Amino acid sequence: MTEEKRPNVVVVGGGTGMPVLLRGLKDLPIHLTALVTVADDGGSTGRLRNEMAIPAPGDIRNVIAALSDAEPMLIELFQHRFDVCNGLSGHSLGNLLLAAMSSITGNFNMGIREISRVLNVKGKIYPISNDNMSLHAEMEDGTIVSGESKIPLSNKRIKRVFLSPQPVEPLPNAVRALNNADLIVIAPGSLYTSIMPTIIMPQIAEAIKNAKCQVVYVCNVMTQEGETTGYTAADHVQAICDHIGEASVDAIVVHNEPIEKTIREMYAEENASPVVYDIERLIGMGLQIIEGDIIDPTQPTLRHDNHKIASLLHSLLNK
């Protein structure tokens, strides 16, 4: 396929699911753009946010590592986390490099661009915003919990999430990428603390809702305690639509094979269970259902198989 005719695929999200997806997509004949959450406030990321007033670098770091074609040792170095008992304890080298490059360039997005160039990243990576933002959740009992890392710990059912300070401005390049997309993919990940912060800014929500291309949600395989306990596949989509507008999602990718008993038992210890695939309700929502055996059997924990997912998504472009 010639360079000019390569379709534009935009992946939106954060957390652990997004890098898996990107590793599969990066070698396909597409123009790939990742729009990444910057609302994380835990660990190394949280300390750098507080000390340097920059957007959260952690999810960006993992996306850079996923899309990098650098030597494996260099990527390992980038992902290295210090565990010595001193001022560096708990910090990831990649987070420190992103903070340093942001300081050198005077801009978080420019810092990402320069690190991406050094690490030979395939595709474009944009933070959803250059702003240092915070995530809050309104629970069904009316209480407000502030901070991305604290929301799942409240063990209350989430009604909605929102960002501060208002207005949070999205990166213009992020909006432009969505407007020019031939396929928009909402990555798997923590629904309220990784996915929502990336899509709920008004201009981003508007771009997804009014997209001329197909918007596909890759559904989580397991529920997550404190966020999606008891959620079915349709509940995940409904939560997205409640935040950015009805009929914002056109299709859903779901895993259609049983989860092994030993793995189910391991996740049960974390109060997580397989996401129920409620086909009739999904069809009633007007969703195209794309199903397959999309789990990587070589992994000790449940991870999407990046090549299987990439193949499914690429087949949508061919149609």
pLDDT of 1 > 60? The answer is no
Q: pLDDT at position 29, please?
A: 93
Q: In what order do the strands lie in the sheet containing 288-292?
A: 124-127, 31-36, 8-13, 183-186, 214-218, 251-255, 288-292
Distances (CA, A) of 304 to 24, 25, 168, 222, 301: 10, 13, 32, 11, 10
Q: pLDDT at position 38, please?
A: 87
Report the distance separating Cα 218 and Cα 253, nearest Å.
5
Q: What is the pLDDT of residues 271-309, one digit of tens each?
A: 888 899 999 999 999 999 998 888 877 776 777 788 889
Instruction: Please answer whether residues 33 and 11 qualify as being in contact, where contact means their C-beta atoms are separated by less than 8 angstroms.
Output: yes
Measured in degrees and rounded to the nearest 5, phi and psi for residue 94 equal -60, -40
Q: pLDDT at position 296, please?
A: 78
Q: What is the pLDDT of residues 157-175, one digit of tens each?
A: 999 999 998 888 999 999 9
CA 71 to chain centre: 25
Residues above pLDDT 90, as percent of the chain: 54
What average pLDDT does range 18-36 have in this prediction? 94
Q: What is the pLDDT of residues 127-137, one digit of tens each?
A: 998 888 889 99
Q: pLDDT at position 319, please?
A: 64
Domain residue ranges in the chain: 6-36+127-315, 40-122
Q: pLDDT at position 142, please?
A: 94
Buried b (16+ CB within 10 A) or exposed e, 141-155: eeeebebbebbbeee
pLDDT band at residue 44 under the 50/70/90 scheme: low
pLDDT of 104 > 70? The answer is yes
Q: pLDDT at position 135, please?
A: 93
| Structure-token pair, residue 58 | 């952690």
What average pLDDT does range 72-77 have in this prediction? 86
What is the overall mean pLDDT for the chain?
88
Q: pLDDT at position 268, please?
A: 85
Q: What is the pLDDT of residues 30-41, one digit of tens each?
A: 999 999 998 876
Residues above pLDDT 70, as percent of the chain: 92
Q: pLDDT at position 89, please?
A: 67
For domain 6-36+127-315, give the CATH number: 3.40.50.10680
- The reply to whether omega before 167 is within 30° of 0 (cis) is yes
Instruction: Please answer whether residues 290 and 251 qualify as being in contact, where contact means their C-beta atoms are separated by less than 8 angstroms.
Output: yes
